[in-house]
């Protein structure tokens, strides 16, 4: 499966549409368009049914760079820029692009055809524009920024009369700097925010006062809480970028001798989003275990079951899975007397959707249905798709592991990266949906800052609610009590 150009990539800007001409869109067949510097000198590109499936790194880099008569397909631009970091750091790729551009420019200058030189310059700027918009973080590196300035300086010399290209470069640079500044500020802000306080609980009395506020005291409507969870999910997932996801491929396989080296792995956004899932699961368990009366615990369980169901209806599968995981944690799952009072029919349905058998077949069917709804949607409510992030990451890694990066002839297995790129691009499309629900700061503040119990505190609260029933639980309870008393 491959990305469809007309549906997935940004369209050429109005500034360049008249200059680039009709040859800039659609997929390019083998041999279409001439390149300076001898395309194919480092290995030919291999196509199958009109699709590029393999090639040497050098040939793939040359295929990225436009000529007077050629502009790369936008799906190829996105896929190659995304996947190339597995083999070469972005600043080195940019340097090679600059070399290829210089070679072509010198050939065009020798021909003294200013119109063709101007057309070529416009296409180079358009390529750089797409690069800086799709992967602005590539240019936080001083080397990459220096290469960008060098290329744009050479390009502006070809358009001294009407300054069209120069103006476009200025706009591109301004947008890039704004994007980098915004990302830097967002990262600084997120690093200041801490995970919800971990409440270790009193030594042997984990129960809070009966009057202490719980989630039902803040929000008793399952739909409203599901909507606020969706707000938080979309805000957090929006900080994940394609290159973050590609690190799953470029840095997890230490045996790949060609993997990108040098830069430290920046996985903060991935770790923060994964941490949110864990915190939500622990919050659910805390809210259940801290309740004193069995009747109220039953109500709390039924409330979270309804919240999870509303998340499913919205398309927020990540929060749904986190809630189910929280209710399946041992301190909650062992509360048999409480669960006996719960109407579990709804919970059984939810667990059916998240049944791990057959590689989560039921969940994947539901996800496919939500995806189709999103594609046909007329409103933001219907566009929401928030997959179970851990499963998405595993899918990407699985694609990476079952297919080699290189073919026996030394070519890069580009078909593999088409598939990975398609999945990442689809995920990024979901992250860009604007949340249609009104934000409730009070509810969100509670969800993000309410203290959550440690695993030990959860077990204390659980055993105090319903005492140990078998020898294993009695031993665990005795060991836990001894450990906590000694620690005190």
What is d(CA 40, CA 55) in angstroms, rounded to the nearest whole number? 9
Query: Does residue 105 sit in the same domain as residue 244?
Result: no
Of the three residues 166, 187, 208, the one that is the final residue of a domain is 187
Q: Is the pLDDT of residue 263 over 60?
A: no
Closest alpha carbon to 162 in 206, 199, 122, 198? 122
Q: Which residues contact 145 (CB under 8 A, 6 or more apart)?
A: 139
- Name the more confident of 337 and 206: 337
Burial class (CB within 10 angstroms; exposed 0-12, middle 13-18, buried 19+) of 21: middle
CATH of residue 55's domain is 1.20.870.10
- Name the more confident of 351 and 33: 351
What is d(CA 293, CA 277) in angstroms, rounded to the nearest whole number? 27
How many domains would you assign to the chain? 2
Instruction: Note whether residue 192 is domain-resident.
Output: no
Query: Does residue 95 sit in the same domain as residue 222?
Result: no
Helices 164-192 and 268-289, packing angle to 10 deg: 30
- Name the more confident of 69 and 34: 69
Instruction: Note whether residue 373 is domain-resident.
Output: yes
What is d(CA 395, CA 377) in angstroms, rounded to the nearest whole number? 26
pLDDT given at position 252: 56
Query: Does residue 271 sit in the same domain as residue 380?
Result: yes
Tell me: the pLDDT tens digits for 56-99? Answer: 999 999 999 999 899 999 999 999 999 999 999 999 999 999 99
On whether the CB atoms of residues 89 and 253 are closer than 8 A, the answer is no
Token duo for residue 449: 């800052």
Of the three residues 187, 204, 226, the one that is the final residue of a domain is 187
Instruction: Note whether residue 466 is domain-resident.
Output: no
How many CB atoms sit inside 10 A of residue 286's CB? 30
Instruction: Note whether residue 193 is domain-resident.
Output: no
Of the three residues 187, 203, 229, the one that is the final residue of a domain is 187
Instruction: Note whether residue 347 is domain-resident.
Output: yes
pLDDT given at position 39: 37
Instruction: Note whether residue 27 is domain-resident.
Output: no
481 confidence band (pLDDT: 50, 70, 90) = confident
Tell me: the pLDDT tens digits for 366-385? Answer: 999 999 999 999 888 999 99
Average pLDDT over residues 168-197: 74
CATH of residue 226's domain is 1.10.840.10
- Name the more confident of 260 and 331: 331
Q: Is the pLDDT of residue 258 over 80?
A: no
- Name the more confident of 7 and 477: 477
Give the range among 8-12, 146-150, 156-160, 283-287 with minimum mean pLDDT.
8-12
198 confidence band (pLDDT: 50, 70, 90) = low
Reduced to 3 states (helix: H, G, I; strand: E, B; else coil), residue 54 is: strand
> What number of CA atoms fall less than 13 Å from residue 300's CA on the CB side?
26
CA angle 164, 153, 36 (to 5 degrees): 90
On whether the CB atoms of residues 327 and 347 are closer than 8 A, the answer is yes
Domain range for 324: 216-253+266-453
Tell me: the pLDDT tens digits for 414-457? Answer: 999 999 999 999 999 999 999 999 999 999 999 999 999 999 99
On whether the CB atoms of residues 86 and 260 are closer than 8 A, the answer is yes
The full length of the chain comes to 488
- Name the more confident of 23 and 389: 389
Query: Does residue 232 sit in the same domain as residue 179?
Result: no
Q: What are phi and psi of 13, to 5 degrees?
A: -65, 155
Instruction: Note whether residue 315 is domain-resident.
Output: yes
Query: Does residue 246 sit in the same domain as residue 372?
Result: yes
Instruction: Note whether residue 88 is domain-resident.
Output: yes
**Sequential DSSP letters for 137-154:** GGGGSHHHHHHHHHHHHH
Share of the chain above pLDDT 90, in %: 58
Query: Does residue 276 sit in the same domain as residue 385?
Result: yes
Query: Does residue 180 sit in the same domain as residue 285?
Result: no
Average pLDDT over residues 27-40: 38
How many CB atoms sit inside 10 A of residue 183's CB? 16
260 confidence band (pLDDT: 50, 70, 90) = very low
Tell me: the pLDDT tens digits for 46-57? Answer: 999 889 999 999
Closest alpha carbon to 386 in 302, 481, 467, 320? 320
What is d(CA 281, CA 324) in angstroms, rounded to the nearest whole number? 8
Query: Does residue 222 sit in the same domain as residue 183?
Result: no
> What number of CA atoms fall less than 13 Å from residue 469's CA on the CB side?
8
Query: Does residue 230 sit in the same domain as residue 123?
Result: no
Query: Does residue 136 sit in the same domain as residue 246?
Result: no
Query: Does residue 349 sit in the same domain as residue 226?
Result: yes
Query: Does residue 162 sit in the same domain as residue 232?
Result: no
């Amino acid at each position: 499966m491959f990305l469809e150009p007309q549906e997935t990539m940004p369209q050429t800007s109005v500034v360049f549409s008249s200059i680039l001409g009709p040859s800039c869109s659609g997929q390019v067949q083998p041999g279409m368009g001439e390149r300076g510097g001898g395309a194919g000198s480092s290995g030919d590109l291999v196509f199958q049914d009109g699709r590029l499936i393999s090639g040497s790194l050098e040939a793939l880099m040359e295929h990225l760079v436009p000529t007077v008569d050629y502009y790369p397909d936008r799906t190829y631009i996105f896929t190659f820029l995304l996947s190339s970091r597995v083999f070469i750091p972005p600043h080195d790729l940019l340097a090679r692009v600059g070399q290829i551009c210089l070679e072509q420019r010198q050939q065009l200058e020798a021909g003294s055809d200013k119109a063709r030189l101007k057309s070529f310059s416009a296409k180079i700027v358009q390529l750089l524009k797409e690069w800086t918009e799709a992967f602005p973080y590539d240019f936080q590196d001083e080397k990459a920024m220096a290469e960008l300035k060098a290329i744009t300086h050479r390009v502006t010399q070809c358009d001294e009369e009407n300054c069209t290209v120069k103006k476009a470069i200025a706009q591109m640079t301004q947008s890039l700097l704004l994007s980098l500044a915004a990302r830097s500020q967002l990262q600084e802000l997120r690093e200041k925010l801490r995970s919800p306080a971990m409440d270790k609980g009193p030594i042997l009395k984990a129960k809070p006062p009966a009057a202490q506020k719980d989630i039902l005291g803040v929000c008793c409507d399952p739909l409203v809480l599901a909507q606020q969870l969706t707000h938080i999910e979309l805000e957090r997932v929006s900080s994940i970028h394609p290159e973050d996801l590609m690190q799953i491929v470029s840095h997890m396989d230490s045996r790949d001798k060609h993997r990108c080296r040098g830069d430290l792995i920046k996985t903060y956004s991935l770790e923060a989003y994964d941490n949110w899932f864990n915190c939500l699961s622990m919050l659910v368990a805390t809210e259940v275990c801290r309740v004193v009366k069995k009747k109220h615990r039953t109500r709390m369980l039924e409330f979270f079951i309804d919240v999870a169901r509303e998340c499913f209806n919205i398309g927020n599968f990540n929060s749904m899975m986190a809630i189910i995981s929280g209710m399946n944690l041992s301190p909650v799952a062992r509360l048999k007397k409480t669960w006996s009072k719960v109407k579990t029919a709804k919970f059984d349905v939810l667990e059916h959707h998240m049944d791990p058998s057959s590689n989560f077949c039921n969940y994947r069917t539901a996800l496919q249905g939500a995806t189709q709804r999103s594609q046909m949607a007329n409103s933001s409510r219907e566009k929401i798709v928030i997959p179970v992030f851990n499963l998405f990451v595993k899918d990407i890694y699985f694609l990476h592991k079952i297919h080699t990066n290189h073919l026996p002839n030394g070519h890069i297995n580009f078909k593999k990266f088409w598939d990975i790129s398609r999945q990442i691009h689809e995920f990024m499309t979901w992250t860009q949906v604007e949340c249609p629900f009104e934000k409730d700061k009070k509810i969100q503040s509670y969800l993000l800052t309410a203290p959550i119990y440690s695993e030990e505190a959860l077990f204390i609260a659980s055993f105090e609610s319903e005492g140990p029933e078998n020898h294993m639980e009695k031993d665990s309870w005795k060991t836990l009590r001894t450990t906590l008393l000694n620690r005190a």
